[in-house]
Amino acid sequence: MTPSDKEIADVLLDLAHQRGVGKTFCPSEAARRLSDDWRDVMPDVRRVSVGVALRATQKGHEVDARTAKGPIRLGLAP
């Protein structure tokens, strides 16, 4: 079963607040909490992350989580 956007957002924000400002996490951590088939959930995790108060980075530079190719990190905006 596919998690709802609210379920995804709740997990994303929970992870971000656990880490705190200045720390990041991989979106796959959220996907793994949401589904055993976590790879299938990754596009939704990236999409939903844009609508919540998170910053996506890649190699230290801010990126759009929906369009970035390769691994990204998510964290609370400073």
The amino acid that residue 74 corresponds to is L
Q: What is the pLDDT of residues 20-46, one digit of tens each?
A: 999 999 999 999 999 999 999 999 999
Residue 73: the pLDDT is 98
pLDDT at 1 over 90: no
pLDDT at 15 over 90: yes
Report which of 29, 28, 18, 35 is spatially closest to residue 76, judged by C-alpha positions. 18
Structural domain 5-68, CATH architecture:
Orthogonal Bundle (1.10)
Helix, strand, coil content of the chain in percent (nearest 5) = 45, 15, 35
Q: Per-domain residue ranges for the chain?
A: 5-68
Mean of per-residue pLDDT scores for the chain: 96
The amino acid that residue 44 corresponds to is D
Task: Assess contact for 44 and 25: CB atoms under 8 A.
Answer: no
pLDDT classification of 78: cutoffs 50, 70, 90: confident
The amino acid that residue 13 corresponds to is L
Residue 77: the pLDDT is 85
